Structure 1
């Protein structure tokens, strides 16, 4: 429990961001179902939470974050071996660390799980937590290509934490006394907290499986459709309603995209960026459907604001893509002219459509309502407010976003 409480403080502490203004909780806050309530958020360069977040006039961001902030529910379960929308972080026993990442040999060892290892990425992202150019010591280290080793970005962050007496005292409990604190130690504590805080496995559906407790009539009919006629379980299978695989379902692409480094702003080819295989173009990881009520907007770019809209998209993805109304997106102002640029690029739209794997099907409005009722039965109400909650203060003394 000591590691959980330590991870809780670190999760809400801006000390882990380059400019000391952004914490993990900025984009993964319990107020917004462990997300940020936005289609595409703003990390470094923003002030506040969710749709109340505003641009910092003294340090404006370079761009929105390119993908929707994924929910954290149940990510500590052993079934979750791939993380991020494109699965670029995954368990791999063939690697010395047991984890495969795009960083390859640059990756530190000592991470106890993929959940811990994911912390490596956000603190290195200029748009998320690191900051830009040479505006702080972390950003400067990254500009010079220093990630691991003495003077690297992770080392700088670890030393920031180590010199704070309260953190040093807490790490003395979970590590040998006065042992040097490494970034992977911080990440392991964060993972312990996330695993404890956002375990969601006591929904009406769970009680149905465990005890046979009946679901409401509409939810029961929706479950029949989900696992029957509607064939939702072809991808949303297993305990957490995900096959942990990758599928192309013609999701609309909005925002800056993930291919800017390839000179292709606004594009996002998903899993293909990881594997290099053209067969993986526009595929994204099947999300878990647990606590879905809290975790919108939906899709890798958060293109759909409501559960109903994303369910209807599944019925005929190509038609939905062609008819997509950008007013569904929840984006902080000011809007960039490129936010929806790809929707007018017929060549790219055709490529997204051609990769679609789903066959159109027809469901009545009543059947859709029943599926929605079943999806609501996957909500663990007891976990809605999280277990430990937001601390009032953190050891760095920096402001806590509540």
Structure 2
């Protein structure tokens, strides 16, 4: 980010957002592109979003920042929404700084203020230039958006790389994303600030948190199950450095880790009283937490899966040329591929699927979540499907 330099980019990040909507044009909301507000919804919506900087709580002024100066950004919505924050620099360079690899989620609860960086964040935002007018664009949506054609996370970078330049091109790209949405489901807001002055000394990067040991609780005691799991999994090569203490989660414990390379962010977790902890990584961890967030606000594991009951495993390429990952839980499983995404299975459907050989069978990988249709469970795969008929699973080839 040129308008705002981001420091401490050591953490890896994965952007796995899905729109997943099928909407008719009659209910769509054509975006309006303007010079001042970049992109706006021409329809009056109940959903509202406000964005501001630490020098202007109203979000309506145009405060001045010196190069090298720290800046923080506040955002608030009046309904639960997914928020995306862009910075358009004076030279047209664009940064997507929220969501990022250091924040768990860009889902913002109604009536709550989200400040970036948050307290205890592993990054800072500092003004970098060039001189001139900068704009902050906040886009709020009731549904998570797919921004892969606009911004991508590369390697272990904590912030995405934006492929467009200039606010007009950003507006055009975003209009493609939001136009299929219902008219009432998205809204934007813009805050301005100016950059001037001599480049200040770049603040020192925060030291990485090397003081938390695997399984270490805040009171200094050690969760033996997590410490043993870290050793069993050769955690330095697969989990990396702990980013939190081991803390209570529901009726058990979990601890978050930075992850290493392609493994992605990771966690060790186990039910209360269990002597064995298991690891969950990357896309599987993200989907697991998304399901927990949808079910109970992420205060405990999702009931359809329960606690991890085995370490995540890599599944080799099958007859369809697809490879992926498998996460095993008390009540179900998650299968993840780059080609299709990450989906859950459980109960008789999962038992039948695994009895046939799972992803290595003629069924291949799941292509969507197991779902309930007219009282019967159904699951679709690369090579067929499983349907329950009067509670009895039936297997069908394509």
Higher relative contact order (Cα pairs below 8 Å, separated by 6+ residues): 1
- Structure-2-length-normalised TM-score: 0.29
- Structure-1-length-normalised TM-score: 0.28
